[in-house]
Amino acid sequence: MEKFIDGMRRTIDLSDTCLEGLEHIRKRLNDGCIEGTIPLMVDVITAFSQIEDFMLPILGKSLLPSNHIESLTYSLRNAFDHAVTAYNQEQNGKALEIFQFTLLPAFRKWKSEVDSVFHPYLLS
């Protein structure tokens, strides 16, 4: 598990940055600025994809205690998909609704689970 500690730290840091980015996007969407949020949304999705790539070997080998990371990741991925659909259709109102009621809550729940599962390894 030692070889994954650095990746866990980076995952926590990157997920903090992603959350900040998502909250900023929500604020901008609230102002009616969907086009201006596209580069940041691409960055957040790219970062989340990198996190998934790191976690795949850990989750696949069942190296962590029992958790809900996989199911929460699936829900979060679906929320991202819905947000991207709203972006593609240039539906600012729909994108804002997805951010407020689906994407941000799913991300926070996923992040909380990842933080709680990784935290004991980062203390040692």
Report yes or no: 41 and 79 within 8 Å, Cβ to Cβ: no
Kindly report, residue by residue over 66-77, the tens digit of the pLDDT: 899 999 999 999
Residue position matching structure tokens 């604020």:
27
Kindly report, residue by residue over 42-93, the tens digit of the pLDDT: 999 999 999 999 998 888 777 788 899 999 999 999 999 999 999 999 999 9
pTM (predicted TM-score): 0.93
* Alpha carbon distance 124, 120 (integer Å): 7
